[in-house]
Structure 1
């Protein structure tokens, strides 16, 4: 049983609500630009909003909310992408003491109805006509819902106009009665299984990890003397995105919004806003790496990129050994190679991120060690952090100057981490949620003597660094009794450029298997490079054989990290990726494993039946057997 606790938090305690930081910043530095928004239609230039301007807009919108009857404790949902108005509405609602209920814009009609009804929302902010139709289709089941405000139909301007006659003193008096322990957010869990639960988060709990991070790590966001610039593109509907918004507004950072998650939109935003720090999730960092590789291969420089990537990882490993007092650091030859690739490769890769990013944070799920080392080697160190909706986000961070890739760092000051006998991570933190709304039994289930049972598995090394090894409920137990955590294998599979998604299966099966989807853009690039001869049917057969061999190599590479009994013995390539619309991904892009297994039950059965028709396991060769490769078209 391992336990770790660090020093008390260094940040000052919260005395009011989250909206106070907006007013305090405007009083101290009224001309400081705090937000950047793209004009309509979009151009390369961003319009900045000063602290005083934002405060005035928050007050004007709060007046309109008061006129519409919004009162302290009322819950108002926001069903929109990451855009300026999301931030404006959330702070206006907190100013009048209302509670924000974030809803993913990709949510289904049933999910929207459930959240609005379960949270008893009195109003909902939507983005467009499609969202209006979604809410309208369920209004009959929502007697508490009084208002639907559509952003693209001028909701902000309409509310501001309606509230013009309300004196500012009324808004100020409402803001001043908001207490730190008042509920600020009711954030619904992604719901990887069962119905989503609403986590009640107080103003204090949302601010706590942000203030601690700003106190200990805030100076790393930008070079000395410069204001930090952040591109917010992750959904504010997720606690990680909400945490980024809070960090920026409380820390006086300049935050720009990018609502689109397409590669083109992100690339344009990165190169025009030019952030100094990057907040991302592993899937985005994986995508960036694969784009770097594909671009290099298309220009005939694939081999150069791969050598540069290997050097970057070697260089980063040597740096890590030095900062952890385990070695002297990069040798002369490695330093010379790294300097060469700095001029020819790494600088260009950083330019693709806007040219100013030197550090980043990854969250949402664990980042692979290899990917972390790659980014550090090209000059962008990625901190891998850990947190949950129930803890208002951040629980851990890498200690500065002692960073260790492949881990999520150490607990933040004020956070306690405890490992149960089965490896489950239990935490105790000032950012703890107030409970699941209307679900006392569910709350009691996860709170044990003041400790929150995360459902995640992990281990603490001898230096106190935490590593996440998987989800407790995701552990696979084969028919032979072998326990396998799928996350490590899935992570290794996704490192191959052709692999988009991977789900490891094998519960009550004779061996471990995998369902694999392909990256469509890299698949097109890979096909173009085959240059196969013959008629269409011959080329198709040769292409399928080549693809099977390539994915088999990806599986073999993943298997090299585990024992033979844990290795993937069968796999199936699926024709379509898992997505939110099909119900196979949560809105935060996590796999709905149970639903995937149910949806592809026939394919999984066929995969194992094909294996059972082969020679008995005792006759299997020690290496990989091609007959394990099964395609589904």
Structure 2
């Protein structure tokens, strides 16, 4: 249960004007009265999230009235952009075909790389196909058949990919269950899909799922990877014939169900999306087509999957790598410094990760510089990298001549002494970091680009089978989610909601009555966004997250939350203020980063449940809030905030597939604390 410090004391004022009682975790910011709605338009509100300036426009097709989802055209910029390229997929066969076809045609190619004892071991295509067959026969002998749903509760590892293709070989449906899901969430997912079995990673997860065997009528089997369950399945399947598995595999078509993935559930109970083999095959083909150059660059280094498998983007990247004959490896969650060591060993060319990974690695580099007493040179190297990458970006989009001679010389100097050693520390081959989501600050993306590694944000939903927009490798624009992938269209309606259209869109929710959707249907995403002059998508927030203050000011909190969350000491930020006098915020802290910061600052160590009361720490977060407020439209600035002593976790503030807290849960759980912010 989250506790908050509530200590009395005299009010103190920091240099920036924020005020807080001594020992209290609340801050208040004196600001003018909120601007009322009659003086504040939607255009003004969204202006802070827009990028000005025009560049040569890429081909952009205007939506016709017969195709448009509805509403009036947003005249503030391009309202629709499409990528008409069509990637054809076979109508017959399923996803497992790519494994067996590759094993037959290119048996000696490296398909998977696994780390054992700190060293990499290659698994060739033929051997991987044989392992898939062995596990599939074991599952078949245990009674798993086509159409059965099997929960998989694990971190990213080789066994996840192995189980995906083994189950797909039988026509069964793997269902991701978050590896850290509490018992009630795991029970709800397995009950919702009527899973016949669940495969877990370790003892803790087995203890979470084991009680469900007696409560869920459909759940018959529980297998634990770390106790040798997969070896037992391999042994049990030996009496079966390969043809028994091929009989199931060859009966599949593009319309056969492949997996069930739950939505983020940011607006309520998550929904179960039924995804077909054709959806996933098309999504992988689209990614491979759009990123062919990046995949060719990565043919030797390969792809490292560092994002959870409940993100469909992870499985799309997995399939694209195998389809494109690119070596694939996995890494379980670890600290940024540990990830750096993994990258040095694995030496991938492409890293797939969640949005906070790019921020965490930079924070780790900053901590090292602080410990070594090199913060001055580190800050200068960051500034040069950002300015150099920004100049290069302007040149790519026809808005300038690129870096000047002085800047180029500075960058060359830092490249030899800072950037090149940094790239070497990350394995020497890493050139692309693909993120499962948006929200990375533009400056952070420019920093990585200046170092020589491109960061690509993506946009997609469970309903769209993962990414439908991704930063293009040849015309990357930092701070955006890029342009539509092949066969996809994006539309911004009159209330700035994003609509998505494409052949890879899902067909229906599990348990949904009525006929299935068709590829021609548009999907309302519930996200607020805009398209710039080049057709690059910028996601501003969620329709359901936007609120109006008591003064009539409409606030979309995501941009402010992202600005504050970018601070190295912050994990989550939730801006509140529905029908309140002004916006306020609840902020959680990264306790490991705070401990390092206090050590470097010479502050005395405090217990974890008391660290948020430290006045110097409050002042540090104070500065982050003030900086974020400078980007806020009139009346939308945060005037008070509170530091929480614990982080949100899955099942308690975080949904199954989102790194952002569920706003409704937070507002309900912390109602008394939010009231106290305004009562003060």
TM-score normalized with structure 2 length:
0.84
Among candidates 86, 91, 101, match of residue 175 of structure 2? 101
In 1, Cα distance between equivalents of 2:431 and 2:385 = 15
Cα distance, 1:92 vs structure 2: 0.8
- In structure 2, what is the equivalent of residue 325 of structure 1? 398
Cα distance, 1:585 vs structure 2: 5.2
Q: Retained in 2: the 8 A contact 1:192–1:586?
A: no
SS at match of 1:594: helix
Moved more, 235-244 or 323-332: 235-244
Question: Where does structure 1 lack aligned partners over 5 or more consecutive residues?
Answer: 611-633
Moved more, 25-34 or 185-194: 185-194
- In structure 1, what is the equivalent of residue 549 of structure 2? 478
Give the structure with the higher percent helix: 1
SS at match of 2:314: helix
Cα distance, 1:202 vs structure 2: 0.2
SS at match of 2:291: helix
- In structure 1, what is the equivalent of residue 570 of structure 2? 499
In 2, Cα distance between equivalents of 1:14 and 1:605 = 57
Q: Does 1:605 align with 2:675?
A: yes
Distance 1:522 1:64, change over 3 A: closer
- In structure 2, what is the equivalent of residue 356 of structure 1? 429
- Residues 221-253 of structure 1: CA deviation (Å, up to 9, x unaligned): 3538x4341221211122122222222222211
Cα distance, 1:587 vs structure 2: 4.8
Cα distance, 1:15 vs structure 2: 3.4
Among candidates 448, 452, 456, match of residue 383 of structure 1? 456
- In structure 2, what is the equivalent of residue 624 of structure 1? none
In 2, Cα distance between equivalents of 1:55 and 1:25 = 8
Distance 1:199 1:282, change over 3 A: same
Q: Retained in 2: the 8 A contact 1:83–1:257?
A: yes
Moved more, 132-141 or 334-343: 132-141
Distance 1:208 1:56, change over 3 A: same
Among candidates 104, 108, 113, match of residue 27 of structure 1? 104
Q: Does 1:75 align with 2:145?
A: no
Moved more, 507-516 or 125-134: 125-134
Cα distance, 1:127 vs structure 2: 1.6
Q: Retained in 2: the 8 A contact 1:315–1:338?
A: yes
In 2, Cα distance between equivalents of 1:447 and 1:547 = 53
Among candidates 22, 30, 51, match of residue 125 of structure 2? 51
Cα distance, 1:265 vs structure 2: 4.0
Q: Does 1:205 align with 2:279?
A: yes
Q: Does 1:162 align with 2:236?
A: yes
Among candidates 92, 100, 105, match of residue 15 of structure 1? 92
Q: Does 1:589 align with 2:663?
A: no
Q: Does 1:455 align with 2:526?
A: yes
Q: Does 1:339 align with 2:412?
A: yes
- In structure 2, what is the equivalent of residue 546 of structure 1? 616
In 1, Cα distance between equivalents of 2:249 and 2:228 = 25
SS at match of 2:333: coil
Q: Retained in 2: the 8 A contact 1:501–1:517?
A: yes
- In structure 2, what is the equivalent of residue 515 of structure 1? 586
Distance 1:252 1:601, change over 3 A: same
Cα distance, 1:577 vs structure 2: 2.0
Q: Retained in 2: the 8 A contact 1:222–1:276?
A: no
- In structure 1, what is the equivalent of residue 633 of structure 2? 563
Among candidates 403, 426, 433, match of residue 476 of structure 2? 403
Q: Retained in 2: the 8 A contact 1:232–1:241?
A: yes
Distance 1:286 1:383, change over 3 A: same
SS at match of 1:149: strand
Cα distance, 1:348 vs structure 2: 2.8
- How do 1:298-317 residues align onto structure 2 when only pairs under 5 Å count? 298-317=371-390
| Structure ranking higher on relative contact order (CA contacts 8 Å, 6+ apart) | 2
SS at match of 1:508: coil
Cα distance, 1:435 vs structure 2: 1.0
In 2, Cα distance between equivalents of 1:447 and 1:414 = 14
In 1, Cα distance between equivalents of 2:645 and 2:612 = 18
- In structure 1, what is the equivalent of residue 303 of structure 2? 230
- Residues 326-364 of structure 1: CA deviation (Å, up to 9, x unaligned): 000000011011111112221233233222111221222
SS at match of 1:46: strand
Cα distance, 1:11 vs structure 2: 4.8
User: CA-atom RMSD, angstroms?
Assistant: 2.4
Q: Retained in 2: the 8 A contact 1:387–1:393?
A: yes
Q: Retained in 1: the 8 A contact 2:336–2:364?
A: no
SS at match of 2:544: helix
Distance 1:227 1:542, change over 3 A: closer
Cα distance, 1:281 vs structure 2: 1.9
In 1, Cα distance between equivalents of 2:303 and 2:207 = 33
Distance 1:335 1:57, change over 3 A: same
- In structure 2, what is the equivalent of residue 614 of structure 1? none
Q: Does 1:580 align with 2:650?
A: yes
- In structure 2, what is the equivalent of residue 619 of structure 1? none
In 1, Cα distance between equivalents of 2:341 and 2:611 = 39
In 2, Cα distance between equivalents of 1:78 and 1:411 = 31
- In structure 2, what is the equivalent of residue 628 of structure 1? none
Moved more, 173-182 or 395-404: 395-404
Cα distance, 1:543 vs structure 2: 9.1
In 1, Cα distance between equivalents of 2:297 and 2:550 = 55
Question: Where does structure 2 lack aligned partners over 5 or more consecutive residues?
Answer: 1-72, 74-78
In 2, Cα distance between equivalents of 1:388 and 1:553 = 34
SS at match of 1:589: coil
- In structure 1, what is the equivalent of residue 353 of structure 2? 280
Cα distance, 1:16 vs structure 2: 1.4
SS at match of 2:364: helix
Moved more, 293-302 or 359-368: 359-368
In 2, Cα distance between equivalents of 1:532 and 1:314 = 34
In 1, Cα distance between equivalents of 2:213 and 2:630 = 54
SS at match of 1:502: strand
SS at match of 2:616: helix
- In structure 2, what is the equivalent of residue 431 of structure 1? 504
Q: Retained in 2: the 8 A contact 1:584–1:596?
A: no
In 2, Cα distance between equivalents of 1:526 and 1:263 = 16
Distance 1:296 1:543, change over 3 A: farther
